[in-house]
Structure 1
Amino acid sequence: MTRIHPSNDIAGKGAVAAPLIVQVVRQYAPGRGGLEDVVANLSRLLRDRGFRVRVVTLDSLFTARDRRLPDAETIDGVEVVRIPWKGSSRYPIAPSVFRHIADADLVHVHGIDFFFDALAWTRLLHGKPMVATTHGGFFHTPKYAAIKKLWFRTVTRLSSLAYRSLLCCSQSDMALFSRIASDRAVLVENGVDTVKFAGLSSATATRRIVTIGRFSVNKRLDRLFDAMAVLTRRSEDWHLDVVGSPSDHSAADLSAEIARRGLSDHVTLHVGVDNEAVKRLIGGASLFASASEYEGFGLVAVEAMSAGLVPVLHANEAYQVLARQHPGVFLADFAQPEQSARQIEKAFDLLSGDAAAKRSEMMAASAVHAWDAVADRYIDIYKQALGPAAIGHLRSLAA
């Protein structure tokens, strides 16, 4: 459970000598999403291993821009500093970031955005060693594709020169960013909290599906609704729970899409619900589905696997990689409602044959993505950036 307290010296007595890692990310708690989860889990595990950690983020959520969040808090033992911003959520301008990295030993930038460029172009002034995690770059949708490609080949290429390493969270990111960063591009796939929902799925096969994520264009919830329309014509028992928060689409937009297909009795929206509510929904489900056209890694799908849910995923590049790693994952073409519905039915039929075995298979498969090993990989890269003398005193997790 997230605990929020006024900001204070969260490092504790004697922690002054520990290296300070400043994580810079455009959105953080109370916002919820894959990016926020990655930074929160990494920050927590860095503290466990002896680092001091500060998260610098924007002072409002993109979904509630008029509501200003506290300037400083401590969340689960991690110092969080929030700064004002202007401009677009795609490229938020927040120049006060510089004052909050002055005492950093290393800066870790998450995402390819204003922070990535601004901290790179001022590196000679602030002098901080830096690494960055790509998180899919800015190619989540085909919108403005020509401009994005030009920006990537010019501005992003030049900015990348300021970073000791570019940490690519998927094989597709690795293929893309190695073109501009060569051997400074390093594959570090996202860690997944495999404990949060562990083993929660229904013990018996049920025609209930969960999907989780922001209501953004690339998630293609419209295609998932089309598949549901096919499924419910074949069986009235099918139900889909859609868990997420508004983004490109509002809850009203999605409700209208659901009603237009006559699915009001078969699709339920759950907007901005907490983890306890998500756990209850998973507990009544057997399948996870995602029609997303683009994913940087597929973190939520792996979380679903840890619960014992069987994923049926659109065959985007990241999900194809996941399916190659774990044969129990089903791929579908959600642009074809009939075909995707058949894949969902196939997954359900297989689960019905031996629910206990299939759930165990999914949970075991998710374990390879657990956070502990991923955090150690990040720390190895920090050591390379900082030098071994700087952090030789740090304890290991087992210490």
Structure 2
Amino acid sequence: MVIVEADRMRERPQPETAPLIVHVVRQFLPNRGGLEDVVANLARQTVRHGYRVRVVTLDSLFTAPDDKLPPREDIDGIEVVRIPWSGSSRYPLAPKVFGHLADADLVHVHAIDFFFDALAWGRLLHRKPMIVTTHGGFFHTRKYAAIKKIWFRTLTRASALAYRRVVCCSASDLKQFSEIVPDSLLIENGADIGKFADTASRRARRRIVTIGRFSVNKRLDHLLDAMAELKTRNAEWHLDIVGAESDQNRADVEAAIEGRDLSGRVTLHVSPDNAAIRRIIADASLFASASEYEGFGLVALEAMSAGLLPVLNANDAFTTLAGRHPVITLADFTNPETAATGIEAAYQTLARQPDAVRAGLLDAARGYSWDIVAGRYIDLYRSLNVATADSI
């Protein structure tokens, strides 16, 4: 989970003659998560480059489907349109999306879901040029893996033919999608490196932060197992779990904490605002994630921008990230003892050279600034003949 502030200064409204980019995404602000963060930051940047931006999204959050959100809203100069949906949160059906594309100069679809398929098969209805950003596809868990592979090689392959470009947001996505779309383009996600910038503790502390949705694939159980092992090694270790309810809720996580006798050693923070998260980070030195799957690993980059030293499960996305930034520690979180040893080793590294490690973390995070990443998307928009005076 990556949290986005929606109360920043509004951008200057663009003239009605400016090109309109319509982003289509299943969840958006006020929901909190990596996908929402990417779309919000990209939308803000494209507004600053002279585009008009509309986000078409669902009218309720998956965590509270009966609580309807306003049908229209302006957030930071972004026109947000919310439409009704039905079915499963894994494949929500929302055919009213077609009613909000008529004036679009480009439709930018995010993620491989109903919107991706429906807008592809309905392209003769809307006749709009489209691109899609993959955001990890639908392989976030191994559940139904065989069915997912068949779907990917048939329906997903066919739907992708309707898109001018398929944009992969990670090297692992590029490897996968190149199998069905050989000319897939890599534009890695940006990170909001200013949100928690340089806020971590100035001295090494045995305090860990993890940030993410309470989802099964985030494997909080494995992280808690590692914490139980750390508790036996040093009484100072403490873990702060920061996140929003998802397919696991507060009660599920509290039960997991209590079941390992970690009350007092683990603090749970459910949907805190950014100011509260900054205060939590200010007391910590390490970031940990036991996630078994990540589309890219945004939260680790935001942790690095704060000065938190990451210890990450060796999934594909985190392995790629660690390959570029050796300051990151990879660990096998399926083994509590191994994970605990990795966390302890990271702490010792930080304790020996706190200033050098912190400088390396902050420098590495700067390369993922949204100023840089949005520029790559602006270049793509221009290549599709969707440009403004500001972007030429």
Q: Which TM-score bucket, shorter chain as reference?
A: over 0.9
Tell me the equivalent position of 1:381: 380
Tell me the equivalent position of 1:2: 6
Per-residue deviation at 1:94?
0.3
CA distance in 2, matches of 1:60, 1:380: 33
Alpha carbons 1:34, 1:299 under 8 Å: kept:
yes
CA distance in 1, matches of 2:7, 2:296: 28
Read off the aligned partner of 1:273 and give its amino acid letter. Answer: P
User: How do residues 314-333 of structure 1 correspond to structure 2 at under 5 angstroms?
Assistant: 314-333=313-332
Tell me the equivalent position of 1:161: 161
Tell me the equivalent position of 1:231: 230
CA distance in 2, matches of 1:97, 1:290: 35
User: How do residues 52-201 of structure 1 correspond to structure 2 at under 5 angstroms?
Assistant: 52-183=52-183, 185-201=184-200
Tell me the equivalent position of 2:48: 48
Per-residue deviation at 1:156?
0.4
Tell me the equivalent position of 1:291: 290
Alpha carbons 1:4, 1:74 under 8 Å: kept:
no
CA distance in 1, matches of 2:390, 2:155: 36
CA distance in 2, matches of 1:123, 1:64: 31
Per-residue deviation at 1:392?
5.2
Q: For the structure 1 residues 231 and 174, does the alpha-carbon distance in structure 2 shift closer, same or farther, using more than 3 Å as the test?
A: same
Alpha carbons 1:41, 1:371 under 8 Å: kept:
yes
User: What is the CA deviation profile of residues 294-320 of structure 1, one whole-angstrom value per residue up to 9, with x for unaligned ones?
Assistant: 001000000000001000000000000
Tell me the equivalent position of 1:393: 389
CA distance in 2, matches of 1:313, 1:338: 14
Per-residue deviation at 1:246?
1.0
Read off the aligned partner of 2:290 and give its amino acid letter. Answer: A
Secondary structure of 1:22's aligned partner = strand
Per-residue deviation at 1:4?
9.0
CA distance in 1, matches of 2:354, 2:203: 6
Read off the aligned partner of 1:116 and give its amino acid letter. Answer: F
Q: For the structure 1 residues 11 and 151, does the alpha-carbon distance in structure 2 shift closer, same or farther, using more than 3 Å as the test?
A: farther
Alpha carbons 1:18, 1:394 under 8 Å: kept:
no
Tell me the equivalent position of 1:301: 300
Tell me the equivalent position of 1:245: 244
Structure 2 unaligned blocks of 5 or more: none
Per-residue deviation at 1:2?
2.0
Read off the aligned partner of 2:339 and give its amino acid letter. Answer: S
CA distance in 2, matches of 1:194, 1:49: 20
CA distance in 2, matches of 1:4, 1:189: 25
User: What is the CA deviation profile of residues 180-239 of structure 1, one whole-angstrom value per residue up to 9, with x for unaligned ones?
Assistant: 1111x1000001111111100000000000000101111000000000001011111111
Tell me the equivalent position of 2:276: 277
Q: Percent identity?
A: 61
User: What is the CA deviation profile of residues 252-308 of structure 1, one whole-angstrom value per residue up to 9, with x for unaligned ones?
Assistant: 011111101000111111001111111100111000000000001000000000001
Secondary structure of 1:197's aligned partner = coil
Per-residue deviation at 1:394?
2.8
Per-residue deviation at 1:11?
6.7
The RMSD of aligned alpha carbons is 1.4
Structure 1 unaligned blocks of 5 or more: none
Alpha carbons 1:11, 1:52 under 8 Å: kept:
no
Q: Does 1:214 align with 2:213?
A: yes
Per-residue deviation at 1:248?
1.4
Secondary structure of 2:208's aligned partner = strand
Per-residue deviation at 1:379?
1.1
Read off the aligned partner of 2:92 and give its amino acid letter. Answer: P
CA distance in 1, matches of 2:351, 2:7: 40
CA distance in 2, matches of 1:150, 1:243: 36
Read off the aligned partner of 1:2 and give its amino acid letter. Answer: A
Read off the aligned partner of 1:77 and give its amino acid letter. Answer: G
Alpha carbons 1:72, 1:79 under 8 Å: kept:
yes
Q: Does 1:19 align with 2:15?
A: no
Alpha carbons 1:4, 1:73 under 8 Å: kept:
no
Alpha carbons 2:212, 2:242 under 8 Å: kept:
yes
Per-residue deviation at 1:360?
1.1
Read off the aligned partner of 1:165 and give its amino acid letter. Answer: R
Read off the aligned partner of 1:246 and give its amino acid letter. Answer: E
Alpha carbons 2:287, 2:308 under 8 Å: kept:
yes
CA distance in 2, matches of 1:11, 1:25: 23
Alpha carbons 2:153, 2:180 under 8 Å: kept:
yes
Tell me the equivalent position of 1:34: 34
Secondary structure of 2:178's aligned partner = helix
Number of residues paired by the alignment? 388
Per-residue deviation at 1:66?
1.0
Secondary structure of 1:211's aligned partner = strand
Q: For the structure 1 residues 139 and 308, does the alpha-carbon distance in structure 2 shift closer, same or farther, using more than 3 Å as the test?
A: same
Secondary structure of 1:17's aligned partner = coil
User: What is the CA deviation profile of residues 76-118 of structure 1, one whole-angstrom value per residue up to 9, with x for unaligned ones?
Assistant: 1211000000000000000000111111000000000000000
Tell me the equivalent position of 2:357: 358
Q: For the structure 1 residues 89 and 373, does the alpha-carbon distance in structure 2 shift closer, same or farther, using more than 3 Å as the test?
A: same
